[in-house]
Amino acid sequence: MEDAPAADPKAERRQRLMGLDLTELAVEFGTDKWGVHRYTPHYQRHLEHLRQQKFVLLEIGIGGYTRKRRSGASLKMWRWFFPRARIVGLDIEDKSFLDGGHIQTYLGDQTDPGILQRIIAEEGAPLVVIDDGSHIPEHVRATFAILFPLLPDGAIYCIEDIQTSYWPAWGGAVDPRATGTSMDLVKSLVDGLNHEELLVEDYESSYTDKHVRAVHCYHNLVVIEKGDNVEGSNRDTAAHTFHGSNDDPAETP
C-alpha cells in the first residue's frame, strides 16, 4: 500500500487564509484595523462584493515605522481578502521590501499629484482607495481633491481616523463646526447629495455634488461611493404630494 502524499504546508496555509473573513485576516496579520479600531466589519460590508474581482486597491500609508516586521500588515490582509486584486501601497518611507506577488509599493507624498498620477498610469485607476496616511485634514482634503475625479464610477473611497478633525495638534479644531477639517469635507459631501434640491441663488453644482452617490459615516471612518448623482429635483411633485396626498398628517386619522 502506497503512502499518502505529503501535505503541502503552503497550500494548506493558502486554503486556510482564503477561508477567513476580513476581521480574522486583520488578526492574522496584526493590522490595527481591528483591535485598535473596529473598521473591518464595515469594510467587509462595503467591499465583500469585490472579493473575487480583478481590480486595483490603493492604500495610502503603509505603517510599520517603528517595527519593520509589522510593516505592511494591512496590505497583506487586503492581499488575502482580494486574491485577484492588485494591492498598491503609497508611503513617505521606502517599503519596497514588501513588493512581490500581488503587492506593489510606491514612495511619495500623498498630496503630490505627480506620484498619484504615476500610480494610476502604471497600475490603472483604483476601484478602492483607503486613506490611512498622515490623517492631517489638509492632507486628507488635498488627496481627495486629486484622486477622486480620477476614479471610475463604482469606486469606493475610504478615509480612516477622521477623529483628527477635532484635534488641533493634528490640524483639526475643537469646534466641530470649524471649516477646513476632514469632517467639514464629509459634511459638504452629504449636503451635496441633495444639490438639486438646494434653493441657494446661483448655486453651481460641484464635481463631487454630481459624482458622490453615497456617504457612509462610522466611528472614525467614512466610506464614500462614486457614481452619478443627477436624479433631478422632485421639488414640484413633492410640493403636491406633501400638501395634497392621503399621507398628509392633517388628514391621517
Residue 84 has what DSSP assignment?
Answer: T
Q: What nine digits make up the cell of 107?
A: 514612495
Is residue 86 within 8 A of residue 79, CB to CB? The reply is no
Q: What nine digits make up the cell of 37?
A: 479600531
Neighbours of 253 (CB within 10 A): 2
| Residue 49 vs residues 7, 36, 52, 154: alpha-carbon distances, Å | 32, 25, 8, 12
Q: Is 102 a catalytic residue?
A: no
27-32, Cβ contacts within 8 angstroms, sequence gap of 24 or more: 28/77, 28/80, 29/73, 29/74, 29/76, 29/77, 29/80, 30/70, 30/73, 31/73, 31/74, 31/76, 31/77, 32/63, 32/73
Q: What nine digits make up the cell of 60?
A: 495610502
Is residue 95 within 8 A of residue 101, CB to CB? The reply is no
Choice among 42, 46, 102, 135 that is catalytic:
135
Active site positions, annotated: 135
